[in-house]
């Protein structure tokens, strides 16, 4: 989608710091990090919300989680633990309507979320 900010980042039209790239996904550092490590893992194809994913995209959804865990190993936060978050829609406070998995780590988290 041409006017989607994350599609523009994935295309390289907007600068970002990539940490993991493959044929299905693009992962980059969040501009407003909520921890020492904060990476957004996005599918290359535009899916607005996780709730919009189709049965044919089930493998892709799994791949995003696998990539997030791989980046956590790469960033050396795997042993200490981390949080994966997918915000969805209004109640989930999703700000950017291009599916992304937040990988946040490198500090102690609190639970439950607000």
Q: Which long-range contacts does 8-13 make (Cβ < 8 Å, 24+ apart)?
A: 9/42, 10/42, 10/44
Q: Is residue 98 a contact point for Zn ion (CB under 5 A)?
A: yes
Q: How far apart are CA 17 and CA 28, in angstroms?
A: 5
Q: Determine the interface stretch with ligand 5GP among 29-37, 54-62, 63-71, 105-113 (rule: CB under 6 A).
A: 29-37
Q: Which residue is nearest to Zn ion (CB)?
A: 4
Task: Choose among Zn ion, ligand 5GP, none what residue 96 binds, the Cβ cut-off being 5 to 8 Å by kind.
Answer: ligand 5GP
Q: Is residue 5 a contact point for ligand 5GP (CB under 6 A)?
A: yes
| 3 SS3 class | coil
Give me the DSSP letters along 80-103. T-EEEE---TTTTT--SSS--EEE
Q: Within positions 45 to 104, which residues make up the interface with ligand 5GP, using CB under 6 A? A: 87, 93-96
Residues of this chain that interact with ligand 5GP (CB under 6 A) are 5, 14, 16, 28-32, 40, 87, 93-96
């Amino acid at each position: 989608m041409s006017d989607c900010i994350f599609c523009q980042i994935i295309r390289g039209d907007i600068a970002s710091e990539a940490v993991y790239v493959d044929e299905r996904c693009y992962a980059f550092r969040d501009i407003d990090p909520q921890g020492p490590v904060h990476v957004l893992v996005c599918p290359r194809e535009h899916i607005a919300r996780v709730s919009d994913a189709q049965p044919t995209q089930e493998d892709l959804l799994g791949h995003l989680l696998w990539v997030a865990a791989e980046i956590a190993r790469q960033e050396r936060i795997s042993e200490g633990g981390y949080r994966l978050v997918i915000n969805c829609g209004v109640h989930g406070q999703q700000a950017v309507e291009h599916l992304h998995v937040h990988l946040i780590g490198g500090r102690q988290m609190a639970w439950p979320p607000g």
